[in-house]
Each structure stands twice: as C-alpha cells, then as structure tokens.
Structure 1
Amino acid sequence: MTYPNPTTLFVGWDVGGWNCDRNPASRDALVVLDAERRLVGKPWRGNLRRTINQASSTEQFVDGLLRLCEIDPALHQAPRMLMGIDTPLGFSRPFIDLITRGIAVPTVGESSSNPYLHRRTEHFLFERGLYPLSPIKDMIGSQATKGMHVLGRFAPIREACGVWTDGQMLRAIEAYPSACKRSACIEALRVPFHVEEVSVPRSFVPGFEHVDAQDALTCALLAWAFEHRPQWLAQPMADIDPVEVWIFVPEDGLRA
C-alpha cells in the first residue's frame, strides 16, 4: 500500500494489561487512520510490551507501531502521530499527596466523589451521566501504568493539560470510548466501518470484529476530532490540576 507523505496519522490504542497475552478477552489493540479517516494498514491486537521494551527512542516506538499494523515504515519520512489512549493516564492530586507526602483529606464520601479513587475529570463525567473506571479500585492499574510508562518514555513533555508530546513526532491524549456511545458526532464517523446489512446492525467490517479493535477505532476517531474538530470535545476546565490530566470526550455524549 502506498501512502501520501505525510499528514498526521491518528492512532487509537485500547490498552491491555502488562501481561495481556495471557488474557484472551482483553488485549492491546491498535488502529491507524489518515487525515481523511481512512484505515491505514490493518487493525492489530496483541501485547505491546515487547514493542515498548525494544524501543529505545520515540522514533523506534512509532516504527514498531507501524510495523505491527503492517504499514511499511519506508513509506513514511518522520511521520507525525497523534494517539488516543484508552486508559487512565494520571492519578488524583489527593491520592498522589497521600502516597508521596502522607497528607490525607478530612473526609471521604461515596465512591463517585472519593478524591483518592477518582480525578476531577472523572467527577466531571460522573456529574454528566457517565461512569469512568478508577485505576485504584477497578483493577485497571496494570493498563494505567502501561499507558503512563509509554508517555514517560516516548512523550514525556506536557504540552497542555491532558496533552503529551516528545516535541517532534508523537502527541497523545487520553480517550474514553464508552463516552461516545451516545455521541451522534462520533457515531457518524464510525459508519464507514459498519457492515451495510440490515440484518446485522452495527456489525463491523473485517478486522474490527473484537471489541478491543472497535474501541481502538473510536480512540483514533477521538484523536482525529481533537485535531480537526476540537469544538466537538469537552475541554479542560481552568481549575483542573494538570497533574491529574483530562479525559477528552464528545460534548454530545454528555448529559446536562
């Protein structure tokens, strides 16, 4: 496959645990789209741990992702990549203060308002009818540390609240596919990947049969929207602590 050189590639990464090759139900999945939201290469599903460990630079990491998705890296001269990552990429400030400085909050309430279990961005989503998971209590700490490890190694610069970069070829945001289920904007972007058969509503074209690949596709579309339709997405509020970061979700998927 030839690919014109080069606009940004939009990558969706549905994150599996560190040892997800032992978990047939949930693994890492990657989907790469171009600026026209066309599939580049093939969706991939497996465990990214080896690719992460073998890369000694951002360029090698990006090259590894392209190879997994069967995209010939020779066709890309220093590609720009914007990645939407489906896992928590930060912890709450109260939790960080508790484990690093021993500072406790005065009181703790229900789970959805517990300052240790959830970040301000997650409280924002709770208030609008969504139920994001907690890396502390919902057994996704493996996925969260995997995502944060990748940022620390390959995109360590905080460009803005909830946006990471290496300053050259890779940028990343935290995405949340479940927030898109009520979003007409994102659903419209998913339509070209649906099977056009009335008898199988919302079934996906080959390569997207597994929900991991479907979530990776949604993450790639959220990354595309972040660059091309930022007005569709809820943006960080002024009082958000940058260390807690932000989950980018479509405004039309939120309840008033």
Structure 2
Amino acid sequence: MRQIVLDTETTGIDPREGHRLIEIGAVELVNRRLTGQTYHQYINPQREVEAEAIAVHGITNEFLQDKPPFADVADAFWDFIRGAELVIHNAAFDVGFIDHEFKRLHATRGEPRLGPVAEHCGILDTLQLARERHPGQRNSLDALCKRYEIDNGRRVLHGALLDAEILADVYLAMTGGQTALILDAEESRGSEAMASGLSIRRMSLPAGSLRVLQPDDAERAAHLAKLEQIRQAAGTCQWDVLGMVEGPLEEAH
C-alpha cells in the first residue's frame, strides 16, 4: 500500500478568496514504512502572502520571488501523489487548495480538468481519526506529538516538509506503527553487523541451559499499561490476538 503524508503552506486561509499554495511537503510510506522518497517545493503564488500567514510559517514574499509558479511544478507533483492514499491533518484545507490550484491550471491551459484529487487518490484525514480516538481532547499536531511522545523540537514555525515528516511519525504511532519501527531497528542492526564484517552464527546449547527471567509485579503492570495504550491508540493489540496477555505472564504469578 502506497501512502503520501502531505502538508502545505499557503498565502491565507481560503482559496475562494484567491489565496494560493506556497509550499508543498510530502513523504512516502509503502506498507507503513518510510521509503526515504520525498517531495518538497516552494511556489511563487504570484500574489502577496498575508502577514498573518507569514507569522505562522515564516515564508516571506521576498523569499518566494524567485520560486517557480505552480504551473511549472504541477506535473511533477501530480506524478508523486497520483494513485496513492494521501494522509493529511485537516485534509479539507490542504485538498481544497490543491484542487483549486489544478482547477486554475487547467483553465489557464485550456485543458479538460482532471477532477478533484479525491477522484484519483484516497484521502485519510488524521485530524478526523484523532477526534474519533480521542474525543473531547486537543488534537492539533503539536498535541498529538505530546500524546504519542513524538519529538517535534525542530518545529518552531510551520514548514510543510517538516510537518509531513512529523505527521508520518504521529500517524504510525496513532495506528499502531510500532511494528514498522521495530523492523527498521532490526534491519539497521543487521546492516551494521554486515558492514563491520561480523557474521551471525547459531549456538548449540543444551536444552534448559538458558536462564529465563520472569517479570516482577512492577514490570508486569508497566507491560499491561503499555498494551492498553496500544489498544486505545490502534483499536487492537497483537498480544490479544495471539492470546499472550493472559498466557505466560499469568503463569509467572
């Protein structure tokens, strides 16, 4: 499954008032794993950026003067997102601007309109997902970072690519992404071993010679609390599916 975690910055809040995109940032996930493929582009909106918007993202009119217009980057952007599921926080805002840009572009070129992005891509709104999982709580990107212990220390001002990278971490954590993180860590350790010339070999040990350490009460309580956190975040827990919660842990007491 290919997903594109995406964020934008704009000249203002409403494309119907002539506001435009000025930055697009996106990262690619395939089967819930970051591939390292990204899309990042600043755009000359061919209009003034409102002062209120600059206060949020810090992108000035002077900075954008030598950047390409949307028409020059539209094809590359479309190729990057086409057919993927777009993962966006408050998707209606970003998708509304993207649809507006493509509508203007096709009118300028005299081409048939592609249609709304939702006709060519799936849309997953992480804000709506967070509201369903955490009703009555703050669900801004910063609030979710705090809730899921995601480091957003670099996020002083909004920036599309940085926000997309942070949102990818939040999305994986919110939907039970620990599996992907564990696999990445294991592959990294394996790569390091190969690079250093080390090899992996099996050890022949007599049966029963390995020491088995059982958890104490505090460790078991911490483990069960972590499982409950996963259930609340993802709606399910693989330990439950495998029947491991009330198995070996119960037998140890």
TM-score by length of 1: 0.34
Higher helix share: 2
The structure, 1 or 2, with the larger RCO (C-alpha pairs under 8 Å, 6+ apart) is 1
TM-score by length of 2: 0.34
Q: Which has the larger radius of gyration?
A: 2
